[in-house]
């Protein structure tokens, strides 16, 4: 597939995302059944788009080295970031719908545990994935008034995997475990160190292979964007280190 054909696919996905963005920005709760169907449909669309964007990036990187990509990969990275934001917004809408649905239907008491009709996020202990997981978990579970503390604790324990599952708290309740979890992973300094280490660990290029250069630029941009989101702007020392890698 040529660069022109790939750029056309990118534009098509961008147009789909614009429609989803318009839906998210103008969404209002009107009809429960209709709302739920629309939100679920948009969530599925976002998940499909994220998969297609990942495939599209691989197709770009498979192009011959002589092909000029210009800013195609950077645009693709921005699109993926926007898609994740839309996904979180839709999950928030769905969680509120579930609360209203349970209230209107006057379901059984809280002691009867019922899983929300949403895929629960999981967290394996990677600092760089913490904020996105926390936003989704608190929207679906943590701020869900229809769940009692024991249920929230059960969901939190089931969501933590690998290293994150080893965290212990002073008391066996939701608030205590949540605080211990935040103290461990809500660590800006650790996140900064991870992204700086990621930049410094990139091997210096010994030749001007376009594919390797594109991969390096994409990796550095991702780390620098994350550092910017952490309110850490690049300084002269960082610029010197990046210049050395090039």
Q: Say yes or no to pLDDT of 169 above 50.
A: yes
pLDDT of residue 116: 52
User: Looking at residues 17-27, what average pLDDT do you find?
Assistant: 92
Residue 98's nearest CA partner among 43, 132, 139 is 139
pLDDT of residue 244: 45
Give the C-alpha distances (Å, rounded to integers) separating 193 from 127, 128, 184, 197, 234: 10, 11, 15, 6, 14
Rounded CA-CA distance 140/117 in Å is 10
Whether 202 contacts 216, CB under 8 Å: yes
Task: Reduce the DSSP state of residue 65 to 3 states and report it.
Answer: coil
Rounded CA-CA distance 20/49 in Å is 11
Residue with the bigger pLDDT between 9 and 116: it is: 9
Rounded CA-CA distance 120/139 in Å is 11
pLDDT of residue 232: 57
Domain residue ranges in the chain:
3-107, 124-186, 188-245
Strand partners, 160: 123
Highest-scoring range by mean pLDDT, 131-140, 195-204, 225-234: 131-140
26 pLDDT band, cuts 50/70/90, is very high
pLDDT of residue 47: 92
pLDDT of residue 240: 42
Residue with the bigger pLDDT between 19 and 208: it is: 19
Rounded CA-CA distance 48/43 in Å is 9
For 97-156, how does the pLDDT look when each residue is reduced to its tens digit (9 = 90+)? 777 666 665 555 554 555 555 667 787 777 767 777 888 888 888 888 878 888 888 888
Looking at 10-14, 115-119, 192-196, 200-204, which range is the least confident one?
115-119
* 181: Cβ contacts below 8 Å, ≥ 6 apart: 156, 160, 164, 167
20 pLDDT band, cuts 50/70/90, is very high
């Amino acid at each position: 597939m040529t660069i022109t054909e790939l750029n056309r696919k990118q534009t098509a996905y961008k147009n789909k995302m614009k429609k989803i963005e318009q839906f998210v920005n103008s969404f209002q709760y009107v009809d429960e059944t209709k709302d739920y169907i629309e939100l679920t449909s948009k969530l599925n669309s976002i998940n499909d788009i994220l998969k297609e964007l990942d495939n599209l990036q691989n197709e770009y990187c498979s192009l011959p080295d002589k092909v000029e990509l210009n800013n195609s990969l950077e645009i693709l990275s921005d699109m993926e970031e926007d898609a994740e934001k839309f996904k979180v917004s839709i999950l928030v809408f769905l969680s509120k719908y579930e609360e209203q649905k349970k209230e209107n239907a006057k379901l059984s008491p809280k002691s009867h545990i019922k899983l929300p009709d949403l895929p629960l996020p999981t967290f394996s202990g990677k600092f760089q994935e913490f904020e996105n997981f926390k936003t989704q978990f608190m929207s679906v579970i943590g701020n869900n008034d229809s769940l009692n503390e024991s249920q929230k604790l059960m969901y939190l324990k089931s969501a933590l995997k690998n290293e994150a599952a080893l965290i212990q708290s002073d008391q066996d309740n939701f608030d205590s475990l949540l605080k211990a979890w935040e103290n461990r992973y809500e660590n800006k300094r650790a996140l900064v160190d991870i992204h700086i280490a990621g930049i410094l660990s990139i091997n210096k290029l010994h030749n001007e292979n376009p594919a390797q250069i594109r991969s390096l630029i994409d990796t550095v941009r991702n780390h620098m964007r994350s550092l910017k989101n952490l309110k850490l702007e690049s300084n002269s020392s960082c610029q010197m280190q990046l210049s050395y890698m090039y």
